[in-house]
Amino acid sequence: MFSDSNISGETIKAYLETDYIVLDAASTTLKIGQTNPHLAALHGTYDTPCSAFLTACNPFSENCGAEANAARTAALAADLKRRGLVTIEAIGKHPSNG
């Protein structure tokens, strides 16, 4: 699926193992490559055909540190708000992080 990626296989494996949790009323958990009926319902609620799980943290899979990631996250949130886009808070949680 990712044979032509510049991202290491180990990093891709970690992404695939991660739970992507949308902090909506249902705490919807997304997994890469899996259809999710709750996400489809959210699309209906917001009358949109698609969505994206975005993060400004650790660009190109390079660890930037907590302070830099917090600043990048705040800048992304401000940019999305300025563009008038609907956002829902979310987190990515890998099993090794408890």
Tell which residue, 53, 47, 7, 50, has the closest CA to residue 30.
Answer: 53
Tell me the mean pLDDT in the region 50-76.
Answer: 94
3-state secondary structure of 35: coil
Tell me the mean pLDDT in the region 54-59.
Answer: 93
**DSSP conformation letters of 67-92:** HHHHHHHHHHHHHHHHTT-----EEE
Report if residue 2 sits inside a domain: no
pLDDT higher than threshold 80 for residue 98: no
With cut-offs at 50, 70 and 90, classify the pLDDT of residue 1: low
Q: How many domains does the chain have?
A: 1
User: Over the stretch 31-52, which tens digit does the pLDDT of each residue have?
Assistant: 999 999 999 999 999 999 999 9
pLDDT higher than threshold 70 for residue 6: yes
Tell me the mean pLDDT in the region 67-85.
Answer: 97
Report if residue 4 sits inside a domain: no
- Model pTM score: 0.84
Report if residue 41 sits inside a domain: yes
Report if residue 53 sits inside a domain: yes
**Rounded Cα gap, residues 56 and 77, in angstroms:** 9
Contact indicator for 95, 14 with CB cutoff of 8 Å: no
**What is the residue range of 79's domain?**
9-94
Report if residue 39 sits inside a domain: yes
Report if residue 81 sits inside a domain: yes
Report if residue 34 sits inside a domain: yes
